[in-house]
Amino acid sequence: MKPFIAANWKLHKLPSELGMWVEELKTALKSVDMERLELALCAPYTHLPALRQALEGSPIKLGAQDVSAHAEGAYTGEVAAPMLKDLGVYYVIVGHSERRAHHHEDDALVRAKVAAVHEAGLVPILCVGETLAEREAGQAEAVVLRQLGAALEGVTLEADTLVVAYEPVWAIGTGKTATDEDAQAMCRTVRGKLKELTPAAGDVRILYGGSMKGSNAAGLLAQPDISGGLIGSASLSAASLVEIAAAC
């Protein structure tokens, strides 16, 4: 499987800015062999049609940052996985720590969202990770394994229908990054658990996320169980996103 870099723009940018931004990205990517890696942009829902248009003819895939657990119905304000599919979305971030923390997403809801994404034929980028308090209490591994097991319960796993992102919460948007060794150790643990759930999941791509940038990407991406990165802040600038892509 190719290394995978996924940008998480969070609540940033305007749809009207995207055409120019994507042109900038395409120009900067000319220095990168795009055969070697996969790149996706996970944008707010409102941006998806304009982004799809701007990305036409490019290998860059379209991603969303969340999804409803329901396929349709009386759920005002929600956006369903089949709607995302219809817009050309390929990846959907599920269970990001900001959604767990600020929108009360628990393991059961994350699991329902993973199922909804699969049902629509899309690929979830399932986020797991411990808080600083959990790490300091020696619970990091237990928390990650609990989140993983809960989200994937009853899910048929295959290497190309799931991406897992290990994102220590204390590293997200803080400028603090896990050491290469700590990130590798947790990603190895995640891979072990996936294999235990089903041998077919041994090749699932496991991303590291948490203040990854050009200056620290190479070390993290060189780890044997880290297959790419989920990038927040550094993905807002085309130049810094390309710097990370070049490190793959």
Task: Please confirm, yes or no, whether 167 is among the known catalytic residues.
Answer: yes
- Identified catalytic residue from 96, 118, 134, 243: 96
Task: Please confirm, yes or no, whether 96 is among the known catalytic residues.
Answer: yes
Minimum Å gap between C-beta 248 and ligand PEP is 16
The whole-angstrom separation of Cα 84 and Cα 106 is: 22
Q: What is the DSSP letter of 237?
A: S
Contact present, 226 and 184 (Cβ < 8 Å)? yes
212 vs 245 by CB, closer to ligand PEP: 212
Q: Tell me the three-class secondary structure of 36-103, residue by residue.
A: CCEEEEEECHHHHHHHHHHHCCCCCEEEECCCCCCCCCCCCCCCCHHHHHHCCCCEEEECCHHHHHHC
Contact present, 157 and 196 (Cβ < 8 Å)? no
Minimum Å gap between C-beta 35 and ligand PEP is 25
Which residue from 14, 16, 52, 88 is spatially nearest to 236, judged by alpha carbons? 14
71 vs 101 by CB, closer to ligand PEP: 101
- Identified catalytic residue from 38, 98, 130, 167: 167
Residue ranges binding ligand PEP (CB under 6 A): 8, 167, 172-173, 209-212, 230-234
- Half-sphere CA count of 89, side-chain side, radius 13 A: 34
The whole-angstrom separation of Cα 7 and Cα 117 is: 19
Report the SS3 class of residue 162: coil
Minimum Å gap between C-beta 110 and ligand PEP is 15
5 vs 234 by CB, closer to ligand PEP: 234
Which helix (DSSP H) or strand (DSSP E) does residue 133 occupy? helix 132-136
Contact present, 197 and 157 (Cβ < 8 Å)? yes
198 vs 223 by CB, closer to ligand PEP: 223
89 vs 183 by CB, closer to ligand PEP: 183
Residues known to be catalytic? 96, 167
